[in-house]
Chains A and B, each alone.
Chain A
């Protein structure tokens, strides 16, 4: 069956869709009350984040838009030191969307929400004209435990930068799909609860965490250097990139420094805790390839030390990072 404008009318077709797909997968005590708004009981400091997901293709190696829209928002909450609690979701469906595919994507979303420990507390669907596309917005809230203070402005001279694993996988995977290139590159799409949890469990004094999404590591490092008024120097050789992604990006003229990820993060920690923090990250599924990639220094700007010993400054990503022409 295909989604039609009738599914967005608010009438019988809408109700049926709600029951057959969303109700079936998302069922929980908060949502099942079906009131105009969810009522949540959360004491303390709250982190809140929203993100919209417009990825094509809807299903890719290593994930789909359903999984992605949970991971993206959950990771944003985690990066503030928060424990993700609730998500809301807004589905904008284009007419022609296959309901079997929708069912698959909603199931994937529900499974990822369970894994990440978040409850889907509210949602909405709309149908617009189009060609079977789907866009999802998720908003999340999380609780920040007492005593945590994680911020992009907290880096200090002497801190070290840790990266949770190989960069560029998601970007390369999506581009491979779009360009119909056959390879083994799988998106890293994942919720990073395990990595963040391990850092706090190990008693690490985490200064800053950022998930390395659009704009890539290069953009994130520049933003942190600016927020913390410090200089950051990365070690090119230490930045983890898989051989497949390196080969892929070399051919297309892309730089993994600016390629997007959906399951990678950096953590800035005091130098004396570097080993303990790395060990904690590496003990987790999503941090097993973690590496120490750079240091916070006195000064300003983002720099990279190349494998031959030269140092150059790098900037945020400009434009779209499109494949080059020759």
Chain B
């Protein structure tokens, strides 16, 4: 089937109103970049899910990172995305320039977590705290970092983890927001997990779960398959990204995660705690734990911030009073959804404002 036929079909869709969720932030970005909403019927509503790791990271995590960055003989390593996420005592970016109490935080933007090993070996007197944020896609790299540090006997590395797994969050959404008709499943996460992780969800909730790549054609094809499934009364898993996503995922990466991490409840900013959705270091790697478990009780959102409603698709970003009123912008964000290149609010702002 030609892509033009797919577009033709989706443009002319005139069945019942559908709500489809793209779980992954990279999908949200690609949907806007390619103008996909413009190519499909208004009766197919695409809503952005909680699939941006930065957006679901609680404020207390930023505060913890700031504390590490300001501690004596300590340096924080982080990906660039986290720099502008606000904490209660300012963002990492603000603290790097000079914190609220005037003390300058020691923060380096990393490109790969494995950089920590060389740094830690070169400067044994410094403790390197690594801000470990991400889903199944990123978790294996942190697992490798910890295993490699252990193998080389490097002990001056600490992981502050806000690592999460997407599947428990999908179940949470199915339980708590039953009006989603189908899911565009995250391609990168699925490369690691494989496709069978969605089987139980599809069975329990009788909804289509379609794994998609990131090109416009991939996403349109996935939407098409979801709509066709719904029209046929089906609710099953389909892999529309078979070149990258294997049935069983990446067993080596999964094994690395399993060796180093154990799962537990984790707080998703705006959603609250979700059982089994967090990855924590196992006891045997305790020496590398930067105190990630203390973050469980963080539930606070700044007054007026409706991140929770945005990442569950209850409202569009521009329906949040802070977005509409112009007080939350990429230059001066209140919530991480406005900061991240994959956050729904930031994407809406940059493309529509």
Contacts and interface: CB of A to CB of B under 8 A. Distances in A.
Interface of A: 178-179, 253, 255, 306-315, 318-320, 322-326
B216 A253 contact: no
Top 8 nearest A-B pairs (CB, nearest first) are: A310-B35, A322-B80, A318-B330, A310-B38, A312-B35, A325-B79, A325-B81, A179-B111
B39 A310 contact: yes
Contacts of B261: none
A270 to B, nearest CB: 29
Given A253-B26, A310-B38, A326-B138, A315 B81 contact: no
A318 B350 contact: yes
A179 B134 CA distance: 20
Given A306-B216, A311-B35, 7 more contacts: A307-B34, A307-B216, A315-B350, A318-B346, A319-B331, A325-B133, A326-B137
Contact of B54 (A179, A310, A312, A325): A325
B53 interface: yes
Given A319-B330, A322-B109, A325-B54, A312 B137 contact: no
A306 B353 CA distance: 19
A159 to B, nearest CB: 24
B97 interface: no
Interface in B328-353: 330-331, 340-342, 346, 349-353
Interface residues of B, number: 42
B84 to A, nearest CB: 7
B109 A312 contact: no
A271 to B, nearest CB: 25
Interface in B179-235: 188, 216-217, 220
- The interface residues of chain A, by DSSP majority, are classed as loop
Nearest to B32: A312
Nearest to B338: A318
B351 A324 contact: no
B18 to A, nearest CB: 19
Contacts of B33: 255, 306, 312
A157 to B, nearest CB: 23
Contacts of A319: 84, 330-331
A314 B35 CA distance: 11
Given A178-B111, A253-B341, A324-B342, A306 B82 contact: no
Nearest to A180: B111
Contacts of B32: 312
Contacts of B346: 318
